[in-house]
Amino acid sequence: METPKNRPCWCGSGKAYALCHMELDFKLAMLRRKGQRTPPRELLKTPAQIEGIRRSAALNMAVLDYVAANIGPGITTGQIDQWVHDFTVDHGGIPAPLNYQGFPASVCTSVNQVVCHGIPSHRQVLQEGDIINVDCSTIFNGYFSDSSRMFCIGRVNDTWRALVDNTKKAVEQGLAQVQPWKHLGDVGDAVNRFARARGYSVVREIGGHGIGLKFHEEPYVSFVSQAGTGMVLAPGLVFTIEPMINLGTHRITVDRRNGWTVRTADGKPSAQWEIQVLVTEHGHEVLCW
């Protein structure tokens, strides 16, 4: 939709369109004519929306900080779920995973060979040597945030700890590619090349996603993509970088009993870190970690 250049910009900034988003819209239109995939206007977050996402992210990170301060051997994943639920609700938020497409908990807790979507249980006790991903997502005043962290429980063997550390470094490699007018494929390619160079494999079937006004928005973010492909990274786009990196094969299985829990096919451990990132005019801003 065209906006007269002297009218207020569609983003709600209060500036004239000519002084705000007109140049960006023109550039996106030119790229579309050249056959490139560009984000539609509804995926580009406005200043007010970005501020709302920041507030949601602040709560999401506070929840993970609370988990980090209390997690350890002997804690059950059910206790973690209770912490996340109570902390979120007590601070005015809503745990986004709870009842999302039938998911029965407020957080995902993925231990050792569980790749993602682990369902918390009071019967699952964390043991010395375990690694766990705690994936926390929050709704606050209608805005969505999402991030996850890995935790090493007590003394973890060097191979597993290296997997955890290198997965975080892989996320950083992907983040370095988040620059305006590059492509989503650049992010996934950087992650995959880093992981494979260290002997790991990257899960192919599950990736990151757009987020902010909904829990899961376009675009899908693959971490086995090719550089120079995928959606153009336009300022205002918000998405997650969350590769799942396995010590062994990239192949996975889904628990037939609950329909959620994803495990490595070979039983070897998997690690994941997740951040939520905004593309800016000059680079990027990590909104949630």
For residue 18, which amino acid is it? A
pLDDT in tens, 178-216: 999 999 999 999 999 999 999 999 999 999 999 999 999
- For position 3, what pLDDT does the model report? 61
Q: Quick check: 272 and 285 in contact, CB under 8 A? A: no
Q: The tokens of 231 are what?
A: 């959606």
Instruction: Measure the CA–CA gap between 236 and 48, rounded to whole angstroms.
Output: 11
Q: The tokens of 59 are what?
A: 């709560």
The region of weakest confidence among 10-14, 68-72, 111-115, 264-268 is: 10-14
Instruction: Measure the CA–CA gap between 86 and 90, rounded to whole angstroms.
Output: 6
Q: The tokens of 180 are what?
A: 């305006």
- For position 2, what pLDDT does the model report? 53
Q: What is the DSSP letter of 232?
A: B
Indicate the angle between helix axes 184-197 and 158-175, nearest 10 degrees. Answer: 150
Q: The tokens of 229 are what?
A: 């492909």
Let me know how many helices (H) and strands (E) the chain has, helices first.
Answer: 5, 15
Query: Is 80 exceeded by the pLDDT of residue 167?
Result: yes
Q: What is the DSSP letter of 247?
A: S
- How much is the average pLDDT of 41-66? 98
1 or 210: whose pLDDT is higher?
210
C-alpha dist (Å) from residue 75 to 57, 78, 130, 136: 25, 8, 12, 17
Instruction: Measure the CA–CA gap between 289 and 287, rounded to whole angstroms.
Output: 7
| Fold (topology level) of 64-288 | Creatine Amidinohydrolase (3.90.230)
- How much is the average pLDDT of 162-191? 98
- For position 4, what pLDDT does the model report? 76
Q: Work out whether the CA dihedral 66, 72, 74, 76 comes out positive or negative.
A: positive
Backbone angles phi, psi at 29, to 5 degrees: -65, -40
- For position 5, what pLDDT does the model report? 81
- For position 6, what pLDDT does the model report? 86
Backbone angles phi, psi at 218, to 5 degrees: -70, 150
Q: Model's pTM, two decimal places?
A: 0.96
* Residue bearing tokens 């991903």: 133
